[in-house]
Amino acid sequence: MGRSVSSPSNAVVAYNTWEADEDADFQWDVIDDLVNYAPTLWPSLTPCDRWLDREDHAVLENDHAYVGVSEYCGLVAYWIVAKDDTDNAGLAERWVAQVAPKFVETFGRLRRLGTFSNGEAVFEVANAA
């Protein structure tokens, strides 16, 4: 069975690609860019280092959400997901819904069209519509 890049359940996901050259470092190119840029858009975000699943690395958080990145074979999923371990789940979900459009516009270059029965996902360039 095929597979695609992972993201947490119920996450808002922005897809992009990462093309490594011999000097490239995923940590520097993708994660550090997210950690440095996202807080300029949403100042409540602070760095964290938490794995939500085996492949979903949260690198930023606030009281309402985790922001992270997952990668598989050069396909990058930038994601934001409401924290479910809070007494304010409704507020967390509302905050994610409020920032979602700008998050996808800022970090997403691809739009996921669907997934084949073997698990492989199909994408198009986001502004191709």
Sequence ranges of the domains in the chain? 12-128
Q: What is the per-residue pLDDT across 39-56, written as a single tens digit (0 to 9) for each?
A: 999 999 999 999 998 889
- What is the CA angle 30-28-19, rounded to 5? 55
Residue 74 has pLDDT above 90, yes or no: no
Please check the confidence at residue 1 and state whether its pLDDT lies above 50: no
Higher pLDDT, 2 or 11: 11
What's the CA gap between 76 and 70, in Å, rounded? 6
More confident residue, 59 or 124: 59
Q: Of 65, 57, 120, nearest to 92 (Cα)?
A: 65
Do residues 123 and 110 touch, judged by C-beta distance below 8 A?
yes
**C-beta neighbour count of 63 within 10 angstroms:** 11
Average pLDDT, the chain: 87
Per-residue three-class SS string for 67-124: EEEEEECCEEEEEEEECCCCCCHHHHHHHHHHHHHHHHHHHCCEEEEEECCCCCEEEE
Least confident of 75-84, 90-99, 119-128: 119-128
Residue 18 has pLDDT above 80, yes or no: no
Torsion of CA 121, 122, 128, 129, to 10 degrees: -90
What span, in angstroms and rounded, lies between the C-alpha atoms of 50 and 61? Answer: 9
The pTM (predicted TM-score) of the whole model is 0.86
The pLDDT, as a whole number, for residue 128 is 56
